[in-house]
Structure 1
Amino acid sequence: MTAGAAAAAAAAGNSALRGGTDTASGPEAVGPVVADARAAQPWWEGLGFAGRKKVLDAWRVLILRRAEELVDLIRAETGKTADDARLEVVLVADHLRWSAAHAARVLGRRRVRSGLLMFNQSATVEYRPLGVVGVIGPWNYPAFIPIGPVAAALAAGNTVVLKPSELTPGVGRWLADTLAEAVPGPAVLRVVTGGGQTGAALCRAAVDKISFTGSSATGRRVMAACAQNLTPVVIEGGGKDAMIVAADADLDAAADAAVWAAMSNAGQTCVGLERVYVVAEVADGFLRLVGDRAGALRTGERPDADLGPIVLPRQIEVIRAHVQDAVARGARLVLGGPESFAPPHVAPIVLADVPEDSIALTEETFGPVLVVNRVASVDEAVARANAVSYGLGASVYTRDRAQGRSIAGRLRAGMVSVNAVIAFAGIPALPFGGVGDSGFGRVHGPDGLREFSRSQAVTSQRFRPFMQPNSFARDPGTMRALLRMVRALYGR
């Protein structure tokens, strides 16, 4: 689908939406939208965890009832296959359910032991909402990726201003409209559309936190804009995820997983697989399996296509440059080549024996290209996997589960799947995020809920202490007695 066709389809989708909130457009609209969200926040917080759960559960039910409508809109704006869009909807529902169900347990008030020195105090900690959270979403998974921070922020008691990608505004609008339709009342999820200037305006709008998903380069600009108001940020940047295939791995399963992780959504996945390091003694067999599976995939506009278009036209030249650089440096084309490029589509490409300093191994390709390099040992594989600036996800294939856990612990990545790929993204209770150029902060799971709240510690004196060290009127021997007691308790 061309960019113009996608825009037309998006407009048609927007006009068909029912009820809900008005979508504001452009940087000048950000201020009023944030002000409206801030005005609605006390009401939303006042519903409490149980009240918010009821609202979010009703939203989830409505999303699933109208799932195919959302599938059609995702496809219209991104061109991805129907099954790729359906996977998004499934993940949206599951993560929304988890946040609503667990917010009270994770964020609610709990007692904390006061310790011997402060035994006359009762102590509690709870997590309060920040206020208004800004979410800047990407185009590659326009429903699933934003729902992580949106669901967590809402469950915690914040209101949200969502700035979807300018390529997928209809999906963002659909999410806000269905929430407003599910439960009447002040709009707690508001949408502002536009390009980079709109996102920058949201960063400078004195919201209480920004959650950004996109390229690492744009993430740096988001941080710079947020720094003007000391607005904290969660950054989910790019990735260059690696798979390690040990000598004892189930090669059939590993090859099947590698092809899916590298090629699904036409390779336009932040945690998509871009590199495989396979132990030399099984490398030839693994490569044959990967080549056969990737070669059987269908690309194009046909109804049974496995790969849709490359959404950003300029990304096709990035993919082409990565492949050309690798080949020029001596890499071997296992599958595909110049004939793979038929804009806006790119058919699967598999490269082998790519020099480690090639841009195909150091920069994010974000397309249906998989590099498979042989290594002498798992230790070498770990070293190569950790050598890049990114650190988002990774995977390990070995029949030895203990070895798999050991390898995972040595990888510089925020998330690792053993004998699976990207499994961590489908488990709502697990934190999602990376290190290095892949960003910082977490969405999903308890960590994700706490990202969009602030801790508040409260103590309450139960009775007057026998000794009062926190007073200028204390007895002259109080501190000496207190020191003797601490030495007796903790000094050996």
Structure 2
Amino acid sequence: MPAVSPSDKTFESRSPADGSVLGTYPVHGPEEVRAAVVRSRAAARRWAAAGWDGRRSALLAWKRSLARRMDEVAETVSAETGKPLHDARTEVLLVLVHLDWAARHARRVLGRRRVPSGATALGQRALLAYKPVGVVGVIGPWNYPAHTPMGSIGYALAAGNGVVFKPSELTPGVGKLLASSFADAVPPEFAELFTVVTGFGATGAALAEAGVDKVAFTGSPGTARKVAEVCARSLTPLLAECGGKDALLVGADADLEAAADAAVWGAMSNAGQTCAGVERVYAVESVHADLVQRIVRKARELKPGEAYGPLTLPAQLAVVERHMKDALAAGAHAPLGGPESLRSPFVHPVVLVGVPEDSAAMREETFGPVVAVNAVRDLDEAVERANASAYSLGATVFTGSRKEGLAVAEQLDTGSVSVGSVLGYAAVPGLPFGGAGESGYGRIHGAEGLRAFASARAITVKRFSGGTDLTSFSTSREAAARMVELGRRLHAWR
């Protein structure tokens, strides 16, 4: 990895499974962060000169290198998050899928193209072009420390930018490995295009005010607000992905076995530490009891440490405990699990039923292997309850037909919806990802993700003279008036 000025302060990365030390990393301060931005900006000028073909070639070389080093990257992800190695390998596969798409489609999405000039500007050739924003500061999460930040890093690089990445203090080794693998795979003149700074919240704040041209943040809504305050001082644009409280809706004629399977995987995989995972299930009354039985049966078979890992952030255990105890005290019951499920660092599966809609377990992000399954009158009520959340990231729909499922999906106020599966959109690189409200704003992935890290420019080129020029004082008022009147009549009757 390109060198960043050494810091006197350091911190340790530890295994969430057993507390062992995995590595020691510097706590970078404001001066070191600014220096990284300066170096990235210099490399970005060379990156711009490489053109679409040069950038595509370098990014695909990096992708191939990561594919060959999948085990190394996955082992680092697994060690720092605690997730099983097979889950970490799946995460790295998503990195490859998205990096490949961004590299291969950047020119098509962002390349200069003609747009219609319109009758009023027939003499002008109209062009739409995009330019890189400059240097993007990426502040990443710990739950998917490779896949999630690469949704910004890979697309920002493909759009022609430099990147300075601040990984979570829980997963600095993953960030360091991503940057070093980039430097190893691309020509030397691009080695400092993508660099990493490490530390805690203060390092992230330093990055946001270090002169970057955009910040892409993933984390809690509370932290996003702090980052937004820093960005506002310099009017630095911010893209924020802040989690979710995603719902799974089940109709009366749905395939209950498939819905139960999706609910359990969506709620329990990665120990429930998935921003677009399933935290709420709304099932029509006639099938609710049957669905609960199926969910309990499947969840009971899961073994923490094999099916999923420990809670990566130890403090999250208190959040899971509070949500569960508050729900039970408010009248919910647990057909599976309870307070005894909290066996640090693991949480065994918990299924709650009849949880009051105003409880923390239904309104706040739990981020643990806990799922609430409530009965509703019909799918209209399910949609109403799903939309009542302050979060608006993703949702899942199971109905008897794809047509009905799509109709329900279109009523949901979320950035993404999967019909008949859970998180189906995550593996489709051409689709955008992001939410609204407490889930943040902006989009990564797909064409929208590329445009998020580029600035649109309008260009006109005069093709010929003649007619009535409305941008010249030499045109008589009478001629200009006739032209305006002609345009008025055209639009009055079209």
Aligned residue number for residue 273 of structure 1: 278
1:323-374 alpha-carbon deviations (Å, 9 max, x no partner): 0000001101010011101111100000001010110001000000000000
Shift of residue 483, structure 1, vs aligned partner: 2.3
Displacement after TM superposition at 1:479 (Å):
2.1
- Whether contact under 8 Å (2:17, 2:82) holds in the other structure is no
The alpha carbon displacement at 1:24 in A equals 7.5
The alpha carbon displacement at 1:283 in A equals: 0.7
1:188 match: 193
Equivalent residue runs for 1:61-210 within 5 Å: 61-185=64-188, 186=190, 187-210=192-215
Q: Which amino acid aligns with 2:103?
A: A
Post-superposition Cα deviations, 1:1-25, rounded to whole Å, max 9, x if no partner, equal 85595672244xx8xxxxxxxx883
Q: CA deviation at 1:27?
A: 3.6
Write the letter of the residue equivalent to 1:84: D
- 3-state DSSP class of the match of 2:95? helix
Aligned residue number for residue 401 of structure 2 = 400
Partner amino acid for 2:275?
Answer: C
Name the % identity: 51
Are residues 455 and 123 of structure 1, via their aligned partners in 2, closer, same or farther at CA, if it must alter by over 3 Å? same
TM-superposed deviation, 1:427: 0.5
Structure 2 runs not aligned, ≥5 long: 1-13
1:56 matched to which residue of 2?
Answer: 59
| Aligned equivalent of 1:289, options 291, 294, 314 | 294
Instruction: Note the alpha carbon deviations across 1:162-212, whole angstroms, 9 max, x for none.
Output: 000011001001001011101132321100000000000011112000000
Residues 388 and 76 (structure 1 numbering): CA distance in 2 closer, same or farther, change over 3 Å?
same
Cα distance in 2 for partners of 1:242, 1:28 equals: 44
8 Å contact 2:138–2:153 — kept in the other structure? yes
Q: What is the aligned length?
A: 478
The secondary structure found in structure 2 opposite 1:117 is: helix
Q: Select the residue among 296, 303, 310 that pairs with 1:298.
A: 303
2:4 maps to what in 1?
Answer: none
CA gap of 1:73–1:49, structure 2 versus 1, over 3 A, is same
Name the amino acid aligned to 1:130.
V
Secondary structure class of the residue paired with 1:41? helix
Task: Give yes or no for the alignment of 1:260 onto 2:265.
Answer: yes
Task: Say if 1:10 and 1:76, in contact at 8 Å, map to a contact too.
Answer: no
1:401-457 Cα shifts (integer Å, max 9, x gaps): 111111111111110000011111111000000011100000000000000000011
Pair 1:229-2:234 in alignment: yes
What is the RMSD computed on CA atoms of the aligned residues?
A: 1.3
Alignment match, 2:412: 411
Question: Deviations 1:367-399 (Å, cap 9, x if unpaired)?
Answer: 000000000110110000011100000000012
Q: 1:184 to 1:416 in 2, by over 3 A?
A: same
Structure 1 CA distance, aligned partners of 2:60 and 2:420? 33
In structure 2, the CA distance between the partners of 1:4 and 1:85, relative to structure 1 (3 Å rule), is closer
Partner of 1:343 in structure 2?
Answer: 344
Structure 1 gaps, min length 5? 15-22
Q: Using the TM superposition, give the Cα deviation of residue 127 of structure 1 relative to its aligned residue in structure 2, in angstroms.
A: 0.9
Question: Is the 1:152–1:452 Cα contact (8 Å) retained in structure 2?
Answer: yes
- Which string of whole-angstrom CA distances, capped at 9 and with x for unpartnered residues, describes residues 39-70 of structure 1? 11110011111110100100011101011011
1:129 alignment partner AA: P
Distance in 1 separating the partners of 2:56 and 2:484: 49
1:284-310: CA deviation from partner (whole Å, max 9, x where unpaired): 11011000000000013xxxx112111
Runs of 4+ in 1 over 3 A off after TM superposition: 1-7
The two structures have a TM-score, normalised by structure 2, of: 0.95
Q: TM-score, normalised to structure 1's length?
A: 0.95
Is the 1:133–1:158 contact (alpha carbons within 8 Å) kept by the matching residues of 2?
A: yes
CA distance in 2, matches of 1:95, 1:382: 31
Q: 1:20: which partner in 2?
A: none
Distance 2:223 2:30 in 1: 17
Q: Distance in 2 between matches of 1:68 and 1:6?
A: 22
